[in-house]
Structures are given as structure tokens and as C-alpha cells.
Amino acid sequence: MITYSFGDNLYINLTNRCTNHCAFCDKGHLQKVVNADLKLKYEPTAAEIISEVKKKEGYKELVFCGVGEPTLKLDVILEVLRAFPKKDTRLNTCGHAYCIYPDRMVAKELKSAGLKKINISLNATSKEEYDKTCKPAFPDAYEKMLRFAKDCADEGIITYGSFVSGFANEGKAKALTEKLGVILKIRKDLN
């Protein structure tokens, strides 16, 4: 399913590939919660997504998601953002953009394409904790994720740093998000 509704929002399922292997990842549970088949037969093109989004109405936010890491499809995200400049848009990401695209200024590109909000799954308050909990594909994922979060906030994108409830010390999470200039979000569900 390329798009699905959850709560007040419309979600775009860009990819099932991911650059993390989180301890709490439960794709089956997520599919039940949103009541949609999230397993993609193939990764949709920007044109397919734009055409599908144009048919939908009455939602609050347009959310780039996946059950995977959406920035693996960065150019698709940028093209879809440019097609809907007036929509309230959000990107839910694990924040590995600077690992996936070491030569691109991704925060700037997202801002220029019109992204309004970004939710970065920080999930940990130290590299050790992050590597243990999220098992990222990149050895420097934690440092680069923090830099990406700060850059997004500095670009003026409304930036949330999220933690899964029960997986991090909330006091330390608050201190880290304040240092980065992002908004703390403790997640209990997909939204």
C-alpha cells in the first residue's frame, strides 16, 4: 500500500528497507495498528505517489514514512514535496541522511523543497546506547544523526527528537533535545 490513513494524517509508504535494526521494531504490530498492508511489492515513484495523494482529501498532515527509512528515497521525497508546497508536511526518519548521502546538504535540500516538520528518532542519549538499541548500519550513525537534527532545526524546519517510551532516560532525553534545539517527543505509537 503506497498511502494509508492513520489518525488525522495521510502517510506515504516509501520503502521497506531500513538502515537500523531496532530492538523494539515490530512491523507486524504496526500493520495491525494502522490497519493497512505495509509490505511494498516495489518502491513507488514520485509520479505514482503524487497521483495517489491528489486523489485523497480531508487529512491534516502529509507524512513521509515507511516501515523502513524514507530518506533512502530522498529524491522521491523532494519531488513530492515540490508538488505540494501548501501542504502541512512531515518526514519521519531515523536521521541517517548524512550517512546515506555524505556529500549532500540534506537538511538544506529538505527546507528548500518545502518540508515543514521532521521527526527524527533519536532513541538514545549516547552512542553506546544507540548502537545497542538501534544497531545502525553505519558506525558513525549517532554523531551524524545528532548533527542532522541540529541542522534541520537551524534551517527552520520544525524538528522533533523522538524517543520510544521506556527505552531511554527521559531526563537525559530532555537535556539532549535542548542542547540540539529540537522538540522532545516521547512516542507511544506511530504518530
Residues that bind ligand SF4 (CB under 6 A): 18, 20-22, 25, 67-68, 94, 121
Alpha-carbon gap, residue 34 to 182, rounded angstroms:
27
Residue closer to ligand SF4 by CB (options 22, 50) is 22
| Closest distance to ligand SF4 from the beta carbon of 86 (Å) | 29
| Closest distance to ligand SF4 from the beta carbon of 167 (Å) | 11
Residue closer to ligand SF4 by CB (options 44, 68) is 68
Query: 160: which strand partners?
Result: 119, 183
Residue closer to ligand SF4 by CB (options 36, 83) is 36
Residue closer to ligand SF4 by CB (options 87, 135) is 135
| Closest distance to ligand SF4 from the beta carbon of 85 (Å) | 28
| Closest distance to ligand SF4 from the beta carbon of 51 (Å) | 26
Residue 40 CB partners (closer than 8 Å, separation 6+): 1, 2, 13, 15, 16
